[in-house]
Amino acid sequence: MTADADHRPSPARYDAAHCADPEPAEVAGVAPAVRAAAAPRGWRAAGLGIALAALAVPMLTACGSNSGGPAVGAPAISAACTAVGAALSDGPDPDADPVGYAEAQIRPLRAIQTSDHALRAAIRDLATAYAQVFASNGTSSAASKAVTAATSKVNAICPGAGS
């Protein structure tokens, strides 16, 4: 066997026996990895590249989450949003008794559990803002502004829940 100037093996090396597909009897019971190892070098490299790409795609998409934690399904967020809306709909009329309304929101909001970090922070901020309104007996404009800001955060994640 000789090689030409391009360093390719001579045609004599690639006879029909080397290029023929294996007989079904030879393949039966042989693991795919063993068959791949017996494949020509070019096919093994291509197969390895495809396998690595197939493994890399799910790992890269998992890293693309912007919430700072694991991805959360829509049903979990929806359930937490429903709980926020239910908590904020209970209690005295906010226009008639803003301090009583604020007091009535603190515990129910703090009891809401969610695995979504952004929603959890927004709910926590809203409960804290209502606690400030209650502590100031409704006289703190900073506390009122905090309620408005926290309600906007909740509404950004759960449209209409903080209305």
Q: What is the pLDDT of residue 94?
A: 86
Q: What is the pLDDT of residue 64?
A: 42
Are residue 25 and residue 85 in the same domain, yes or no? Answer: no
Q: What domain range includes position 109?
A: 74-157
Q: What is the pLDDT of residue 45?
A: 53
Residue 162 lies inside a defined structural domain of this protein: no
Q: What is the pLDDT of residue 44?
A: 54
Residue 42 lies inside a defined structural domain of this protein: yes
Q: What is the pLDDT of residue 65?
A: 40
Q: What is the pLDDT of residue 73?
A: 57
Which pTM value belongs to this model?
Answer: 0.55
For the chain, residues with pLDDT lower than 50 are 25, 56-72
Are residue 103 and residue 127 in the same domain, yes or no? Answer: yes
Are residue 86 and residue 141 in the same domain, yes or no? Answer: yes
Q: What is the pLDDT of residue 106?
A: 94
Number of domains composing the chain: 2
CB neighbour list of residue 116: distance below 8 Å, 6 or more residues apart? 67, 69, 72, 76, 77, 80, 157
Are residue 79 and residue 54 in the same domain, yes or no? Answer: no
Q: What is the pLDDT of residue 117?
A: 93
Are residue 82 and residue 129 in the same domain, yes or no? Answer: yes
